[in-house]
Amino acid sequence: MPKKRHVGRFAPTPSGPLHFGSLVTAVASYLDARSNDGAWHIRIDDLDLRRIVVGAEKQILTSLETHGLKWDGPIVRQSTHRDLYQAALENLEKQGLLFACDCSRKALAGQTKYPGTCRDSNRPIRDNSALRIRVPDQPYQFNDLIQGIYTENLTHTVGDFVVSRRDGIPSYQIAVVIDDDEQEVSHIVRGADLMDNTARQLYLRDMLDRPLPRYAHVPVFTHASGVKLSKHSKATAIDDRFPTQNLQTALQLLGQPVPAEKSVAELVTTACANWKRSTVPKTPSIINFVSV
């Protein structure tokens, strides 16, 4: 059987400009793909219209280009995949795996996992109902290419999880499975804050008969307070005037050799040649990080 082509991706949400934590993840994903002679795609996570900031997508793409991270093929947007998500939900419903849930956030406040309130209530599926999927009482395990073996039993950790929100928007879990499969992504490199989402996605892949990709979770970078760098935490936008310095800092944090080249193109080429997953820090986060 011929070896499957290496395909990576980066999937930002257009809710603000690229911040340094996201750049580090993009760099890791890009280098991992290119060092394996693979393709690298961009997918815009624009399902939730309330989170979209006008002009943010253009800013993100400009920052990626300025830092020498050139993608393959056209930009893909999640908003064009609604029919694919609906087909997947109908597949799961036919298998008897979905149920309607009318529990409010207030009703579930303080719960560490879904208590199964609506699981056996046979509530009709209505416009204002969320859809949850019944999870099995069994462990899901994968060998993360950076962090190592990870095992999770969904029944014990999150319980039956949401696959379609009350407002009808498909959940991140179902969308990312369908999107990655449509783009034939073979290697998913992303932040370690998403590592505990992986078991849910493996389960959905099993139920939808989709092939399994390899996962590699890089550390997330935090403010001095320990809060993750994110648009929500008002992380400073990347300063595109200093792409070489930004890339060198990102490589250092990823445990990679830091090329001395001043040209962005030369620096990225050298970084691709030197990329090693084995030297990326095997930790979920790096704290006390001061953004550049």
Number of H helices, E strands in the chain: 9, 12
Please say whether the beta carbons of 144 and 187 come within 8 A: no
Return the ∠ at Cα 72 (arms to 66 and 75), rounded to 5°.
Answer: 80
User: How many angstroms separate the CA atoms of 59 and 72, rounded?
Assistant: 18
SS3 of residue 181 by DSSP: helix
pLDDT score at 228: 52
Sheet holding 76-77, edge to edge: 7-10, 39-44, 76-77
Closest of 52, 61, 4, 62 to residue 186, by C-alpha: 4
Task: Please state the domain extents for the chain.
Answer: 7-79+219-286
User: How many angstroms separate the CA atoms of 121 and 100, rounded?
Assistant: 9
SS3 of residue 157 by DSSP: helix
pLDDT score at 231: 46
Whether the CA torsion 104, 106, 107, 108 is positive or negative: it is positive
**Regarding the domain with residue range 7-79+219-286, which homologous superfamily does it belong to in the CATH classification?**
HUPs (3.40.50.620)
SS3 of residue 131 by DSSP: strand
pLDDT score at 233: 41
SS3 of residue 187 by DSSP: strand
pTM, to two decimals: 0.92
pLDDT score at 124: 79
User: How many angstroms separate the CA atoms of 63 and 19, rounded?
Assistant: 10
Q: Which pLDDT tens digits describe the chain residue by residue (292 residues)? A: 456 799 999 999 999 999 888 999 999 999 999 999 999 999 999 998 889 999 999 999 999 999 999 999 999 999 999 999 999 999 999 999 999 999 988 999 889 899 999 999 888 777 689 999 999 999 999 999 999 999 999 999 999 999 999 999 999 999 999 999 999 999 999 999 999 999 999 999 999 999 999 999 999 987 554 445 444 445 578 999 999 999 999 999 999 999 987 799 999 999 999 999 999 999 887 764 444 4
pLDDT score at 237: 83
